[in-house]
Chain A
Amino acid sequence: MTDEAPLLEASGVEKRFGAVVALEAAALTIRRGEIVALMGANGAGKSTFVKILTGALRADGGHVRIRGADRVVGSPAEARKSGLVPVYQEPSLIPDLDVTDNLRLGGTDAAKFTRWMSELGFTEMDLAAQVATLPLATLRIIDLARALASEPDVLLLDEMTAALPTDLVEAVLRVVQQQAEAGRSVIYISHRFAEIAQVCQRAVVLRDGATVGEVPIEAGAEERIVEMMLGEAIKPGETAAQRATPAPKGAPRVAVKGLGATGKLTDVSFALHPGEVLGVVALEGQGQDELFEVLAGARKPDRGVIEVEGTARRFNHPADAIRAGLSFVPGNRADALAMQQSVRDNLALPFSARARAWGPINMRREGEAVARTIERLQIDTRAQGEVGRLSGGNQQKVTIGRWLAHGCDTLLLFDPTRGIDVRTKRQIYPLVRELAEGGASVLFYSSELEEIQLACDRCIVIFNGRVVDSMPAAEADEPRLMRAAYGLTGSAA
């Protein structure tokens, strides 16, 4: 097998966006039947590399050889012809069309697609459903099934599992393994070591746009990869178990009573105290999206009460929630950012929101507030003229930093570490703790169970639109959370 030319071989790949160097020496080799992890901190260039390999972007330099022949992959269609098929980080379906029409656009065989969907656990997929009405997790699975239906030689998965609940992650990993067994190859991008350890043979590590090494997946590989990614050793994070968590005292800042909306959110009650980080755990689509949207004023509840500082509030618009001190950081960064505008404009956006602030901006004072936020969150400002050019981690810092600069009593963080690198994650947990120590309240939904102990004081588990369990973070180990998230515990809160 080794004497056969590699399926895909890329070396010295370069890409610049204006003054920003995204890639300078990216390299990767994959052979038939291999599953290779592509790893790197956010901004290391993983997504750019994948886009170049699959023809969505053009490289400024370097070689890409497919089955031993030099190629310039000029378009996604050419890449597809050569057997390279990607599933990108963002769903690539047209929201206003139904699933069938989306398949037709890409020339996907509906029968094969349906077979893969049932392989992935969606046995009764409604092909007439309008894409906009489907949950994010389903869209990701559709993207994957569509890619699989074209029978790719090399499947490139960019953060495929980032927005998926655990059961779907398992299904994806199973399918990835099947690909390898059938002699096909997979390039697997993820920040989750557990998944990589489960399916990959080796990991190619990118740092600052260059391939810095390759690590075979074996015991201890995790630490080596992290070291390579960071270029420095990292300290294990402090966990709640080591922290003395005082029981919440006094009146709650936000009290939610019997909240319900759109059928998915049926009956949720909890109290959030000043200085407290309350974790929210739920499988995909248990009503957590609706809960956060209602608290943010972006959706109207059907029933229930939100009390802030003891007073019942009705939020008809996000502006009402913000005035009551509740600020929302949505799960999808593209929902929160004006991508073509500068870091400054995005950070300062809430300052200008109210009509009384429409006049001249105090540039000096605002500039200082923005600079302080950039400094505090260590936002990479090399591409600050356009937020869309920042890496995912830096974009996330801008969406959070906006509310730090503006000031808020209660921060609603919806999966704030989704698809971002270890380094940024490890900046976000202490930041959340620091905000709480400063007296803020934080509601923290996470799709990664271990984060509950890393960042929260207490957590509630939502299943089927109801709170089914609640516990201090010290007791929130993954088995207990997992059981509760699947609705297997009796001790309702």
Chain B
Amino acid sequence: MLRFKALLRDHPIIPLLVLLALLVGTLEIMRPGIVGERWIANTVKFAIPLAMLAACQTLTMLTGGIDLSAAIVATISSFVMATLVPFYGAAGAIVLSLIPAVLIGLLNGIGVGLFRVHPLIITLGTGLIGTGCLQVYQSTVIATGSEVPEALAWLGTGRTWGIPNALVLFLPFAALILFAQRRTGFGRLLYAMGDNEGAARLAGVRGWQVYLALYALSGLIAGVAGLLYVGLIKAPSLSLAVPLMLPSVAAAVIGGTSIFGGRGGYAGTIVGALILTVLGTMLTLLHMPEGARRILFGGIILGVAAIHLRLTDAR
């Protein structure tokens, strides 16, 4: 038992993978034949934007923060991109649409790093401001129409030999984050700052630099996630990625990243995003009223997070 616990503590991803397999198995029992190549590709397709938004949460949570503006940033960049395509073409629109994403991220970073505002507050505030700006922006561009570029639709929905094209973007992205969190100086500082900010300071770390870079990066990731998501949904709107807000936090938490900072990592988050996506499918199949479905969804998230903590914590 002790060795089993030690194993789980050192590899917290194992129980998550087991849970994922159990969920997929249950789904197959509920609806025999559903789990096939097509279903897997679809699940992965929907899990990827969620996993990317959850990267924003994971990275900020490592420092003890959170990025509640991520889903709105994703929505803003997708909407801005779609409305700019008629003027600047696909490539130009994509580049321009990431500017507001990074700006909101920088604003978050300035708030957290220089003015010591709690991340929860500052990202909530910039998120609301962003929503307002988006509404104003929409009223000015209402006549020009919008368009989702071919390339993004290909990336978001397309499959090549049965494999979702979104992986072309996601695999290098995930590899980069996984590498960065443990093998770059920046990654090490995220853990150190979340664990003991004062100690990091005494070791010579200028915290504001880390926060500024972190939240700007989070904004950029959210922006890219938004572009990918609009390629999947193909209908830009003012609330496109907003429903992913809380699931993105949940994916990181289920994946074992501590909201208090210093613990966790992106590998768990990816599995967390897959678990949430499969769970979503399952609950849709249950033919329950929407209210009951949400109650069950929330309950399961709490249960999984609690069990995971129990299994992987040594004390």
Q: Which residues from chain B contact A330 at a C-beta distance below 8 Å?
A: 202
A99 to B10 Cα, complex, angstroms: 41
A260 to B264 Cα, complex, angstroms: 43
A336 adjacent to B183 (CB under 8 Å): no
Min CB distance B113 to A, Å, is 13
A338 adjacent to B6 (CB under 8 Å): no
Q: Which residues from chain A contact B184 at a C-beta distance below 8 Å?
A: 358-361
B2 proximal to A (CB < 8 A):
yes
A19 to B6 Cα, complex, angstroms: 7
User: For residues 323 through 372 of chain A, which have their beta carbon under 8 Å from a beta carbon of chain B?
Assistant: 323, 328, 330, 334-341, 345, 348-355, 357-361, 363
- Looking across the interface, which residue of chain B has its beta carbon closest to that of A60? B2
A317 proximal to B (CB < 8 A):
yes
A318 adjacent to B202 (CB under 8 Å): yes
B196 adjacent to A339 (CB under 8 Å): yes
A359 to B184 Cα, complex, angstroms: 5
Could you tell me how many residues of chain B have their Cβ less than 8 Å away from some Cβ of chain A? 30
Q: Which residues from chain A contact B237 at a C-beta distance below 8 Å?
A: none
B262 proximal to A (CB < 8 A):
yes
If A18-B314, A339-B196 touch, does A361 touch B185 (CB 8 Å cutoff)? Answer: yes
User: For residues 73 through 109 of chain B, which have their beta carbon under 8 Å from a beta carbon of chain A?
Assistant: none
A361 to B2 Cα, complex, angstroms: 34
Stretch at the interface among B26-34, B186-194, B266-274: B186-194
B293 proximal to A (CB < 8 A):
no
Q: Which residues from chain B contact A358 at a C-beta distance below 8 Å?
A: 184-186, 189, 213
B141-169, CB under 8 A of A: which get 1 and which 0?
A: 00000000000000000000000000000
A17 adjacent to B185 (CB under 8 Å): no
User: For residues 103 through 155 of chain B, which have their beta carbon under 8 Å from a beta carbon of chain A?
Assistant: none
If A341-B191, A345-B191 touch, does A335 touch B202 (CB 8 Å cutoff)? Answer: yes
Among the listed A296, A328, A345, which residue makes an inter-chain contact with B188, where contact means beta carbons less than 8 Å apart?
A: A345
If A18-B9, A338-B191, A351-B185 touch, does A319 touch B206 (CB 8 Å cutoff)? Answer: yes
A322 to B203 Cα, complex, angstroms: 8
B202 adjacent to A338 (CB under 8 Å): no
Range class of the A interface residue count? 35 or more
If A18-B9, A352-B188 touch, does A318 touch B314 (CB 8 Å cutoff)? Answer: no
B185 adjacent to A16 (CB under 8 Å): no
A361 adjacent to B6 (CB under 8 Å): no
Among the listed A317, A319, A338, which residue makes an inter-chain contact with B196, where contact means beta carbons less than 8 Å apart?
A: A338
B25 proximal to A (CB < 8 A):
no
A322 to B209 Cα, complex, angstroms: 17
Q: Which residues from chain A contact B5 at a C-beta distance below 8 Å?
A: 18
A271 proximal to B (CB < 8 A):
no
If A18-B314, A319-B204, A361-B185 touch, does A349 touch B6 (CB 8 Å cutoff)? Answer: no
Among the listed A296, A322, A336, A355, which residue makes an inter-chain contact with B199, where contact means beta carbons less than 8 Å apart?
A: A336
A385-405, CB under 8 A of B: which get 1 and which 0?
A: 100000000000000001000
B234 proximal to A (CB < 8 A):
no
- Looking across the interface, which residue of chain B has its beta carbon closest to that of A403? B203
A298 proximal to B (CB < 8 A):
yes
B20 proximal to A (CB < 8 A):
no
A15-51, CB under 8 A of B: which get 1 and which 0?
A: 0111100000000000000000000000000000000
B188 adjacent to A348 (CB under 8 Å): yes
A318 to B203 Cα, complex, angstroms: 7
B2 adjacent to A298 (CB under 8 Å): no
A353 to B192 Cα, complex, angstroms: 10
Among the listed B2, B183, B188, which residue makes an inter-chain contact with A349, where contact means beta carbons less than 8 Å apart?
A: B188
A323 to B206 Cα, complex, angstroms: 13
B255-271, CB under 8 A of A: which get 1 and which 0?
A: 00000001100000000
Q: Which residues from chain B contact A353 at a C-beta distance below 8 Å?
A: 185, 189, 200, 203-206
Q: Which residues from chain A contact B280 at a C-beta distance below 8 Å?
A: none
A298 adjacent to B202 (CB under 8 Å): yes
Q: Which residues from chain A contact B189 at a C-beta distance below 8 Å?
A: 352-353, 358
B310 proximal to A (CB < 8 A):
no
B201 proximal to A (CB < 8 A):
yes
B314 adjacent to A338 (CB under 8 Å): no
A298 adjacent to B262 (CB under 8 Å): no
B263 adjacent to A349 (CB under 8 Å): no
Min CB distance B216 to A, Å, is 13
A345 to B188 Cα, complex, angstroms: 7
If A348-B188, A358-B189, A361-B184 touch, does A337 touch B201 (CB 8 Å cutoff)? Answer: no
B198 proximal to A (CB < 8 A):
yes
Min CB distance B280 to A, Å, is 32
Q: Which residues from chain A contact B10 at a C-beta distance below 8 Å?
A: 385
Min CB distance A14 to B, Å, is 12
Among the listed B2, B202, B206, B263, which residue makes an inter-chain contact with A336, where contact means beta carbons less than 8 Å apart?
A: B202
- Looking across the interface, which residue of chain A has its beta carbon closest to that of B195? A338
User: For residues 1 through 56 of chain B, which have their beta carbon under 8 Å from a beta carbon of chain A?
Assistant: 2, 5-6, 9-10
Q: Which residues from chain A contact B213 at a C-beta distance below 8 Å?
A: 355, 358
Min CB distance A27 to B, Å, is 23
If A318-B203, A318-B204 touch, does A339 touch B183 (CB 8 Å cutoff)? Answer: no
9 chain-A/chain-B pairs, Cβ below 8 angstroms: A330-B202, A341-B195, A349-B199, A349-B200, A353-B185, A357-B185, A359-B184, A359-B186, A363-B183
Apart from A338-B195, A352-B192, A358-B189: 13 A-B pairs, beta carbons within 8 A: A317-B204, A319-B206, A338-B192, A339-B196, A345-B191, A349-B203, A350-B204, A353-B200, A353-B204, A355-B209, A359-B185, A361-B183, A385-B10
- 8 A-B pairs with least C-beta separation: A352-B185, A338-B195, A353-B204, A358-B186, A319-B204, A322-B204, A358-B185, A349-B203
